[in-house]
Amino acid sequence: MRRETSLFSRLVLRVALVLCGGAALLATAAWYYARAAADDAYDRLLLGAAIQITANMTVDAGNLAVTLPSSAFELLGLAERDRIFYRVVGPDGKTLTGYDDLDPGINLSSARPAPIFLSANYRDVPVRMVIVSRALSDPSFSGWAYVVMAQTTEARRALAGELTTRAMILVGIMSILALAGTVLAIRYSLLPVGRLASTLNARDPQDLTPVEVDMPRELKPFVGSINHFMGRLEERVSLLQRFIADAAHQIRTPLTALTAQVDMLDDDDLDADRKRRLGRVRERVKQLARLTNQLLNHAMVIHRSDSVRFKPVDLGDIARKAFRATVPVTVDPDVVVSFEGCAAPAIVLGDAVSLREAIANIIDNALQHGAVQRLAVRVERSGRRVLVEVADDGPGIPQSEWPAVTARFVSSKVGEGSMGLGFAIAAEVAAAHRGTIRFREKAEHDFAVILDIPLYQESER
């Protein structure tokens, strides 16, 4: 299974890695500094103690005498747990007192210009050592005496450890803050991406106009590509529409001729089988003519929605005209048709031709596929909307197919019992007028298709 990559987790992971590396680096540096600081602090004590001892050297009757002051040891005792080793070396190189085997491993005379500090091991424990020299210039006794002072490093390590720990706590807190800040910043920076996605998702599938969202500069090329792509798609779609309209138009003329020819065919001297076949040919030709008309109507509607400027029109009038035009005189006498207008003017802003075409298509559809005994067209105002309701007592359209039939450009299969492009046209017109096509399920009322268009408000002008 391939793991889904996320910009957020990628960024956080990398920032966390960098922070970890930085923290490790800082901790190492802190440890070095802490060690240096601890050494520096305790070296002073060590040097102080050694100097105290050198200061207590006296030459007495040609002999070098050393008094070890308790204060020197008390000074070193400030490092409470550390052991102390010392060695006093006379001018003859012999150890006067202290630990004879405390050997700094270098020539003592190198400590003549200045005290020397060393880190070494003594008796298997790490110690810090200082060598301090003293020039004796008694007439009877002269030369260099040395004091080697060593101390174990427990207090130094403890101090360095404590300093390092504190620094590391600070580094840790800073890293956590930085990471939290990064997480917030990344979340914030990625917000426009989510916004773009939801804008694209919320868009009408037919809306191929350029996306106009306020985007950060980094996302502009992405939006540009989308827009460019949509522009090309738009071009293709309109080309296709034009082609279909042209094709329908081209087909209409031969089709009219064909219909006439078929109508002229005399079927009297045909046997039953051929008569039946001829009937089917006529039926199919009729369907073809209807479909071609719808295609042309559709193209016309689309063309008008793009080019015709909307005017206030009375939807009641339009519906009535559509009703008259659609319901033929030769309607099946078993079917009761009725039209119920609206008392108040039902003015909407729109294109009368498109609206009539839409209503005619709905009525036509009801006649073709729905009405058994009843067809009722009713115009009414409901709040700020005008509803044109076409009800019939037919079986209706099952709820599961509602989205499919209203989807514009989605024509159901053409054939016997198909609804052709009627609803597609109606839905297209409704959308152009900021309205919708709805359905009312067959229950105590008849099944109804409702065209819902907002009422024209004077203030809109």
Partner 1 sequence: MIWPKIVPLACAGVLALTTTAGAVEGTRTFFPALDAERGRLVINGATDVEAMEPLIRDFQATVRDVAIDYTDYVTNDLYRDADIACRLKQPFGDILLSSSVDQLVKLANDGCALAHVSAETRGVPAWANWRDEVFGFTFEPSVMVYHKDFVPPEDVPHTHGELTDLLRFKPDYYRGRIGTYDLRQSGIGYLLAFLDAQQASTTYGRLLESLSRANAVLRCCNNAVLSELDSGNVFIGYNILGSYAYAASRRNDKLRIVLPRDYTLILSRGALIPVGAKRQDLAGRFLDYLLSVRGQKVARQKAFFFSHDGAVPADVDGPAKLVESGIGRPIRIGPALLAAQDRLQRSRFIDDWTNLIVNTPVRLRPN
Smallest Cα–Cα separation from 325: which of 289, 358, 288, 295? 358
Over 146-166, what HEC string results? Answer: EEEEEEECHHHHHHHHHHHHH
Q: Which residues contact 393 (CB under 8 A, 6 or more apart)?
A: 370, 371, 372, 373, 374, 446, 447
Using CB under 8 A as the binding rule, whether residue 147 contacts partner 1 is answered as no
Query: Contacting partner 1 (CB under 8 A), which of 15, 31, 47, 83?
Result: 83
Do 79 and 157 contact (CB within 8 A), yes or no? no
Using CB under 8 A as the binding rule, whether residue 277 contacts partner 1 is answered as no
Using CB under 8 A as the binding rule, whether residue 125 contacts partner 1 is answered as yes
Using CB under 8 A as the binding rule, whether residue 70 contacts partner 1 is answered as yes
Q: How far is the CB of 88 from partner 1 (least distance, A)?
A: 8
Using CB under 8 A as the binding rule, whether residue 101 contacts partner 1 is answered as no
Q: What is the CA radius of gyration of the chain?
A: 51
Give how many residues touch partner 1 by CB under 8 A: 25
Please give the helix or strand (H or E) that residue 316 lies within, else none. helix 315-326
Give the interface segment with partner 1, choosing from 5-13, 82-90, 188-196, 228-236 (CB under 8 A): 82-90
Q: How far is the CB of 43 from partner 1 (least distance, A)?
A: 17
Using CB under 8 A as the binding rule, whether residue 82 contacts partner 1 is answered as yes
Nearest CB to partner 1, comparing residues 82 and 389 = 82
Using CB under 8 A as the binding rule, whether residue 94 contacts partner 1 is answered as no
Q: What is the DSSP-derived secondary structure letter of residue 115?
A: -
DSSP-assigned beta bridge partners for residue 40: none
Q: How far is the CB of 114 from partner 1 (least distance, A)?
A: 26
Using CB under 8 A as the binding rule, whether residue 76 contacts partner 1 is answered as yes
Using CB under 8 A as the binding rule, whether residue 197 contacts partner 1 is answered as no
What is the rounded CA–CA span in Å between residue 176 and residue 307? 61
Nearest CB to partner 1, comparing residues 41 and 96 = 96
C-alpha distances out from residue 273 to 4, 90, 264, 266, 278, Å: 65, 143, 19, 14, 9
What is the rounded CA–CA span in Å between residue 195 and residue 216? 11
Using CB under 8 A as the binding rule, whether residue 63 contacts partner 1 is answered as no
Query: Contacting partner 1 (CB under 8 A), which of 72, 145, 208, 299?
Result: 72
- Other CB atoms within a 10 A radius of the CB of residue 408 amount to 21
User: Tokens in use for 380?
Assistant: 């009414």
Using CB under 8 A as the binding rule, whether residue 80 contacts partner 1 is answered as yes
Smallest Cα–Cα separation from 394: which of 339, 327, 442, 437? 442
Using CB under 8 A as the binding rule, whether residue 98 contacts partner 1 is answered as yes
Using CB under 8 A as the binding rule, whether residue 58 contacts partner 1 is answered as no
What is the rounded CA–CA span in Å between residue 330 and residue 333? 8
Nearest CB to partner 1, comparing residues 125 and 173 = 125
Binding site for partner 1 (CB under 8 A): 65-74, 76-77, 80-85, 88, 96-98, 123-125
